[in-house]
Chains A and B, each alone.
Chain A
Amino acid sequence: MTLVRESSAAAPARPAVRPRRRRGRADRRPRVLVAVTALFFALLYLPIGVVALFSFNSEKSLTVFGGFSLRWYRAFAHDDVLISSLGTSLRISLVAMAGSVVLGVALALGLVRCRTRLGSLAGLVMLVPLITPEIVTGVASMLLFKGLGVALSTGTVMLSEITFSISYVTVILRSRVAALNPEVEEAAMDLGATRWQAVRLVTLPALLPAVLASAVLIFALVFDDFVLAYFTTGVDPQPLSVRIYSAIRFGVQPTINAVGTLMLAGSVCLIALALFIPRLFGRRGGLDILSGE
């Protein structure tokens, strides 16, 4: 964009004072920078590529590719422990998604529209999970449950994941709510709608793309989350990421390559979907979903 703007829009307007030769030099892509960027992309994708490639290996090795086979995917499909973990992870993600989206959307609406001291306090509370490292959140959640005498289980993972995800939903939604014109709501009320009807029939439909995008994103983040789940899960039905962690710690297991490849593919699809949803609704989609700005 910047490059295009510079050469097409700005150049004709500017009188030809600058020597042409220098301009050409300034616009050329510096080879060193392009090389660094290319190297960065190569190293970024290499580990992912290695996991994916060796998930199709017919051998057990992680360095020698013996030939194409679906052996490890079959091993995963027959591994009852991993399959039940997959179910546990899906359940946790669904519950956390539903809970955090409901609480987070309401919080975002309240934060933007409510101009009271309570509002700024709530804004501060919302920031805490974003500036606390996950290990601290994990330790804290675990201690809370232990202190209350609640046995760690799938339910405790769900509760902690909701707590952690509310902030993400709120951050994503807040800028969208702020961008809405409150006068539309007021117009609905002038036409006889109650406050709640105005929110339900006017505001929420306008927020739908962002709500869906944040829901998909939270689902992926919770499904992939490992630290919080690790600290708050019980022993028996463990989320998939916690199983993967124990497997990785105790040496190489090619089945993990297959599971990992499936998880990577799944979350890449979901995140791409989250970025793409606003476009489906004819709005400017893109990375602002991730940064919240």
Chain B
Amino acid sequence: MALLRPSSRSRRRKADSGGNRMWIWFMLPGTLWMTGFLIASLILVAVLAVGTTDELGNPRFGFDLTGVRALADPAYTEVLVRSLGYALLTCLICLLIAYPVAYTIALHGGRYKNALIAAIVVPFFANYLVRMYGWSVVLSDDGPVLRALRAIGLADGDTKILNTGVGVIAGLVYGFVVFMIIPLYAALERLDVSLIEAGRDLYGGPVRTFLFVTLPATRQGAAAGLVLVFLPAMGDFVSAQLMGGPDQIMIGNLIQDKFFQGQNWPLGSALTMLLMLVLLVGMFGYLRRTRKDEAEARR
């Protein structure tokens, strides 16, 4: 045994360096694939934003700021501001809806917890288009939602949801609320119930206990949910198309238009870069926030 041990150890060390080489070979195909197809193509978008296209519509690279300069057009600024507003409102509404739902399931779901979460998650991963199409039927002028609202007197004959900003936001919320529920549920499930009890034992009312105990403990889940909803909501173009009218278009619709109907690819690329820029700012804010939280937790 004593004789064997050093030799097996040295053999293992040798195998380790050989193993590292093997693991690099494992990583290489996937990483190269993604670098080639994704990273390179993202760089291409940035390059084409300052390029032009030939008569056939094929990209031609050069240095031409027409596309970037066109972004200064107030019409585009308006669309960008509207998209930001819609996406932020969507985040807020998703938080307001997802919190009570996740809370109820996590703390009062009992043994049905997993089944209830699965019942939310499974349809959300089913076809997005068909769901949005069904939602637009439900919100239509004589759909069930408006009929119910009319029956209880909250709407009259002229109230519309489709072709309004409310409709677009409703579409975005329906499309992405699950991305808020999952992290919130995970945070609430991890929450130590005795903390809530302690809050009550210290004579905090339910509201104060919630504000000073539950809410701070789930702040990171909420922050993750906000980012996860903001990213797809900001880039969405289906909701504005199905639920909105010409006055509700978002930046995604503009990009789609420039690449398909308008055939102005440099402008489309510039818009895509603008969208990425907004999202990167959001991501950066989130990362700084979580880093600060982590630093505070360590202290």
A interface residues (Cβ-Cβ under 8 A, vs B):
1-6, 10, 18, 22, 26, 29-30, 32-34, 36-37, 40-41, 43-51, 54, 62-63, 103-104, 106-107, 109-111, 113-116, 118-119, 121-122, 125-126, 128-129, 131-137, 139-144, 146-147, 149, 159-160, 162-163, 166-167, 170, 186, 189-190, 195-196, 217, 220-221, 224, 226, 231, 241, 244-245, 248-249, 256, 260, 263-264, 267-268, 271-272, 275, 286-287, 290-291, 293
Contact = CB atoms under 8 A, between A and B. Distances in A.
Contact of A47 (B134, B182, B231, B268): B134
Contacts of A47: 131-135, 137-138, 174
A150 B232 CA distance: 28
A134 B235 contact: yes
Nearest to A99: B33
Nearest to A186: B12
Contact of A139 (B120, B194, B269): B269
Nearest to B192: A2
Interface centre among B37, B127, B135, B186 (most CB of A within 10 A): B127
A43 B123 CA distance: 12
Interface of B: 8, 12, 15, 18-20, 22-31, 33-35, 37-42, 44-45, 48, 58-59, 97, 100-101, 103-111, 113-114, 117-123, 125-135, 137-138, 140, 142-145, 174, 182, 186, 189, 193-194, 197, 200-201, 231-232, 234-238, 241-242, 252, 255-256, 259, 265, 268-269, 272, 275-276, 279, 283
Given A48-B123, A263-B130, A109 B137 contact: no
Contacts, number: 290
A149 B283 CA distance: 34
Nearest to B22: A195
A293 B224 CA distance: 14
Given A133-B236, A139-B259, 9 more contacts: A1-B111, A37-B101, A133-B279, A135-B275, A143-B269, A160-B37, A167-B34, A241-B127, A260-B130
A252 B197 CA distance: 53
Contacts of A221: 125
Nearest to A109: B26
Contact of A3 (B110, B129, B235, B237): B110
Contacts of A6: 193
A258 B110 CA distance: 37
Given A51-B134, A133-B231, A226-B129, A126 B34 contact: yes
Contact of B268 (A33, A62, A139, A162): A139
A11 B25 CA distance: 54
22 contacts: A29-B104, A30-B104, A32-B100, A34-B104, A40-B97, A51-B133, A63-B142, A107-B30, A107-B31, A111-B27, A118-B24, A126-B31, A135-B272, A140-B38, A140-B42, A143-B41, A195-B19, A241-B129, A244-B129, A245-B238, A267-B127, A287-B114
A130 B127 CA distance: 19
8 residue pairs, one from A and one from B, having the closest CB atoms: A133-B235, A47-B134, A110-B27, A107-B30, A110-B26, A114-B23, A144-B41, A260-B130
